[in-house]
Amino acid sequence: MFEPRVAAASLSGEADAGWARAADPFVGCAFLGGVALDGPTRAAARLLCDRDRNEFLPDSPMAFLDRQLSALTNVDLRPAFNVRSADPETVGSAAAVCADHGAILEVNAHCRQAEMCAAGAGESLLRDAERLREQVAAASAAGATVSAKLRTEVDGVDLPGLASRLVDAGADVLHVDAMDSESVIAEVVSAAPESFVIANNGVRDRATAAAYLEYGADAVSVGRPSDDPAVLRRVRRAVDGWFDGSRGGAGRGGEVTPDA
């Protein structure tokens, strides 16, 4: 999917092409965005701005995706775009732009801001699996590699069961914010073994990266410190060591070797 197996996770209003270029020496993938695509989510993004949260609000979301991805044409990482929408059709349109650039389209079922959930996007999709499946299917039908950004600890949501259903709908990547439930990564891997699982939350160094890799994650992602080269360097070194077998493991299905 990408090498090295470290990703920079999206930060609304901050994760643009310039941010991805700065992370390039340390990551194999950068998730730009999130970007609100349709009327309800754009209205929600304006409300978030009104209470001093950062949001991307370009005049044309599709043109913005195209410009940002074009700016990464000669950068040695796999680009991805995290998008928020209540409408599968707009997700499909965004996925077509991503497909043209060889980028991953990530459906955001992760944002827990009340305004975005009220608009029918973000975490509200975790509670309505069929609507989330429709967005994943629309993105897959447009020819893009599809990621679903998920979070644990949402009441009433069987995340491993949902993961399997999303893969059936066309998800290639499951990007899981483990919150304080790191072991759920192993359950997701078991439920959807054909998916590429990226573990997120609290990844800062060798110990935190290894914790997720031991549970079977295929990669890890760095969120808030993704603009800190020192953090990215530590995580990159840890993950490279893990997968080459010199620092405590060889990845999913590999033999674990003693810590060096």
pLDDT at 258: 31
* All residues at 6 or more sequence positions from 29 whose CB lies less than 8 Å from its CB, including other chains: 1, 2, 6, 7, 8, 77, 78, 79, 80, 104, 219
Per-residue pLDDT at 109:
97
User: Does the domain spanning 6-243 belong to CATH 3.20.20.70?
Assistant: yes
Structure tokens at 113: 């801001």
| Residue 40: alpha-carbon gap to chain centroid | 22
Cα separation values, 42 from 10, 48, 55, 58, Å: 17, 10, 9, 10
Looking at residue 182, its pLDDT comes to 87
User: Which pLDDT value is given to residue 15?
Assistant: 97
| pLDDT surpasses 50 at 247 | no
Q: Are 240 and 253 in contact (CB under 8 A)?
A: no
Residue 229 — φ and ψ, nearest 5°? -60, -35
pLDDT band of residue 251 (cuts 50, 70, 90) is very low
- Which tokens is 114 given? 């009340």
Q: Which helix (H) or strand (E) holds 73?
A: none
pLDDT exceeds cutoff 70 at 246:
no
Neighbours of 22 (CB within 10 A): 17
Q: Give Cα 35 to chain centroid, integer Å.
A: 13
Both tokens assigned to 116 = 């975005």
Q: Residue 168's pLDDT is what?
A: 97
Residue 130, pLDDT score: 97
Q: What is the pLDDT of residues 67-88, one digit of tens each?
A: 999 999 999 999 999 999 999 9
Q: How confident is the model at residue 253 (pLDDT cuts 50, 70, 90)?
A: very low
Is the pLDDT score of 255 beyond 90? no
Amino acid residing at 19 = W
Interval 90-137: pLDDT, tens: 999 999 999 999 999 999 999 999 999 999 999 999 999 999 999 999
Instruction: Flag whether pLDDT at 260 surpasses 70.
Output: no
Q: Which residue has the higher pLDDT, 256 or 238?
A: 238
**pTM, full prediction:** 0.93
How do the domains of the chain map onto residue ranges?
6-243
> To which H or E segment does residue 248 belong?
none
Nearest C-alpha neighbor of 97 from the set 125, 61, 150, 121: 61
List, in order, residues 6 or more apart from 43 with CB less than 8 Å away.
119
Write out the two tokens for 237: 């070194």
CA separation for the pair 217, 170 (Å, rounded): 19
Residue type, 173: V
In angstroms, rounded to a whole number, what is the distance separating the alpha carbons of residues 99 and 121?
22
Residue that has been written with the tokens 């990226």 in this structure: 198
